Amino acid sequence: MLDSMPDGDDGRGDVTDSGPVAESPRSTHHEVTVRRLVHEPPQDAADCVRGIPRVNGLEGDVIVIGAGVTGLTAALALKRASRRVIVLDARPLKESESCRTTAHLSEVPDTRLSVLLKCFGLDDTRLLIEGQRLAIAHIEQLSSESGMDCGFERLPGFLYAEAGDRAQRQALEAEAEAADALGYSDIRTTEIPASFAIAGALRFDNQAQFRPGSYVAALESQIYGHGSVVVRGVRVHAIESDAARPRCRVSTSGGDVIAERVIVATDVPIGDRSAIRAKLAAYRSYAIAARVRRPLGALLWDLATPYHHARTARIGNREFLITGGGDHRVGEEIDTRQILTELDEFARTHFGPLEVTHHWSGQIIETADGLPYVGPEAADDGRVLFATGLSGNGITNGTLAGLLLADLVRGHANPWARLLAPDRSRSLASVGRNMGRNLAAAKRRLTGRIKELVTDVEHLPASAGMLIRRQGERLAIYRSATGALRALSAACPSGRGHVRWNGAEKSWDCPSCGSRFDLAGAVLNGPAVRGLMPRPFVDATPVPAHAAGPSPAPVAQAVP
Ligand SMILES: Cc1cc2nc3c(=O)[nH]c(=O)nc-3n(C[C@H](O)[C@H](O)[C@H](O)COP(=O)(O)OP(=O)(O)OC[C@H]3O[C@@H](n4cnc5c(N)ncnc54)[C@H](O)[C@@H]3O)c2cc1C
Ligand code: FES
């Protein structure tokens, strides 16, 4: 489970113009500390369940499932086109992936340019980049026209190779050549706005950053009225689109909702959709924040595997360095807490002694060829549409996908429909192996971290979980900070496999489809729509002595 953060930000530190240096040089400890996030979206829009709690019998033109950046972008475009839109979401806004992003708004996709060129050719790679630009411009336009306070800001982005890293230097050369072919000029540089040594960099002007929580909350607030509504706290269990019936029925925890069209914008399509699921891979990605004195004024990202990225964000009157990376497959048997320690170290070695104030993580969905899938679920029935596989560019891809989905509902032509079609015929499995995230290699690197799992409940420390077998059933056991044990069936709801313990986030994660569950078994991430079953568990084991020590720090739930 993602534990809620303690209140309070200590507010130490002065603002000087001496560079992007850390504020608390004395604090260089490597412990994971968790503070309250200081840049949450406005509470009124983020936290409360709006609209009607019971949705049974509600009817509209379009049901949008998922109120993150993708669903809300589509919903707002449709509402402005006079459609009655019902947006349903199971959770508060701040728990969506859209509020866990590190919010680099970059036209440069996660999949490397050289790989895209090889696999998609010049025209389609240009089209893809054009799509990212359009998405950034759309966010800029919405933020300025409605006067929303989401801190949208244009700034340059730098793709750099670390000094002394041959592989990164070669990769940078390949990216530079691809950029030349794509028509970028004068982007090679040896300088970035940070003091660590680099082998070289590419400068992409006119990228952007913003506060995603504020932006998405502002989108949400514009949906209400004229028959449109956003209802949070309602989990969708099934979608029925029977060709014999004129309208689709969406079954939820609050009753059935009816509309002509359904958009599934749940990051990963919910339920048992094996055809699309086989093409997706779920990854966890991590981020940390630390107080600094001066903004970087740029987005930075490297060519490591998995890659690191950094930017600064102004929250209130304070500046934070936000660094991210450490991606790994969901459910991988690794000590996820170690990833946070490594991220802390990366931040300190590159940006000086830092007091890390926040840690968080989120889900990233990758596709085999590195491009999202956006379009109809079934080729012969366009009533249910979906978007997924938004990758590490999910804010820009999600915005582009939202606009495309709205066009598909209205029957409007859209230049990206062909490129992102879920049934695109190109066989591009090789792209997946070469993606910028370079996932296979990332996996190899992380296997070094696999730690020995505890084999007996007796040895299970406080605030930790493990799997055991009892009476022929595998159980997921969690020991709380006070020593109490809680048991769930470890069998995932679809019965295909068993969940695994995630120590950093205190969750039960499914390595097969990427679904995640909290300590009570409730769904945190889909595609699962139902939780893990509770099981009675009686154990006479006293809390082991080491359980009284400091418990592993959870990853904070954060909204950059
Ligand atoms: C650490 C991290 C850093 C990132 N950095 C960047 C970045 O720098 N730039 C960038 O462009 N992207 C970035 N991304 C990716 C981006 O944040 C996501 O891809 C994007 O926000 C996904 O948006 P979405 O609307 O599709 O999904 P979400 O925002 O997750 O919205 C989906 C919604 O669906 C709801 N839902 C799910 N199942 C159900 C159900 N059964 N019933 C009802 N509701 C349901 C969920 O509650 C959720 O609110 C990052 C992601 C992470 C995790
Ligand atoms: S395969 Fe069942 S929850 Fe993942």
Contact (CB, 8 A) for 59 and 257: yes
Q: Over its length of 560 residues, how does the chain's per-residue pLDDT go in tens digits?
A: 222 222 223 332 222 223 334 443 333 333 333 333 333 322 333 333 444 458 999 999 999 999 999 999 999 999 999 999 999 999 999 999 999 999 999 999 999 999 999 999 999 999 999 999 999 999 999 999 877 889 999 999 999 999 999 999 999 999 999 999 999 999 999 999 999 999 999 999 999 999 999 999 999 999 999 999 999 999 999 999 887 888 999 999 999 999 999 999 999 999 777 688 888 999 999 999 999 999 999 999 999 988 999 999 998 889 999 999 999 999 887 787 888 899 999 999 999 999 899 999 999 999 989 999 999 988 778 899 999 999 999 999 999 999 999 999 999 999 999 999 998 875 444 444 434 444 443 443 333 333 334 457 888 999 999 999 888 889 999 999 998 899 999 998 887 889 999 888 899 999 989 999 999 999 999 999 999 999 987 664 544 444 433 333 434 433 33
Where are the domains positioned within the chain?
457-548
Candidates 92, 106, 241, 236; CA nearest to 527 is 236
- Which ligand is nearest to the Cα of residue 521, counting in written order? 2
Query: CATH topology for 457-548?
Result: Rieske Iron-sulfur Protein (2.102.10)
Nearest CA to ligand 1 atom 20: 394
Contact (CB, 8 A) for 334 and 326: no
Residues with CB under 6 A from ligand 1: 65-71, 88-91, 96-98, 100-104, 235-236, 265-267, 270, 285, 287, 324, 362-364, 390, 392-396, 398, 526, 529
* Residue reference for tokens 């909702």: 257
- Which ligand is nearest to the Cα of residue 330, counting in written order? 2
- Which ligand is nearest to the Cα of residue 387, counting in written order? 1
Report the alpha-carbon distance of residue 342 to residue 358 in Å, rounded: 14
Candidates 413, 532, 515; CA nearest to 473 is 532
Nearest CA to ligand 2 atom 3: 492
Residues with CB under 6 A from ligand 2: 492-494, 496-497, 510, 512-513, 515, 528
Nearest CA to ligand 1 atom 50: 101
CA distances from 92 to 28, 68, 231, 253 (A): 34, 10, 10, 15
Report the alpha-carbon distance of residue 462 to residue 479 in Å, rounded: 5
Neighbours of 191 (CB within 10 A): 11
Q: How far is ligand 2, taken at its centre, from the CA of residue 515, in Å?
A: 6
The answer to whether the pTM exceeds 0.75 is: yes
- Which ligand is nearest to the Cα of residue 362, counting in written order? 1
Nearest CA to ligand 1 atom 4: 101
- Which ligand is nearest to the Cα of residue 98, counting in written order? 1
Report the alpha-carbon distance of residue 324 to residue 280 in Å, rounded: 22
Report the alpha-carbon distance of residue 10 to residue 357 in Å, rounded: 10
Q: How far is ligand 2, taken at its centre, from the CA of residue 495, in Å?
A: 7
Nearest CA to ligand 1 atom 3: 101
Contact (CB, 8 A) for 128 and 120: yes
Tokens read off for 279: 């093409």
Q: From the alpha carbon of 266, which atom of ligand 1 is closest?
A: 34
Q: How far is ligand 1, taken at its centre, from the CA of residue 500, in Å?
A: 22
Q: Which helix H or strand E contains 177, and what residues bound it? A: helix 166-181
147: number of CA atoms within 13 Å, CB side?
0
Radius of gyration of the chain (CA): 23
At residue 474, the 3 state secondary structure works out as: strand
Q: How far is ligand 2, taken at its centre, from the CA of residue 443, in Å?
A: 20
Q: How far is ligand 1, taken at its centre, from the CA of residue 388, in Å?
A: 10
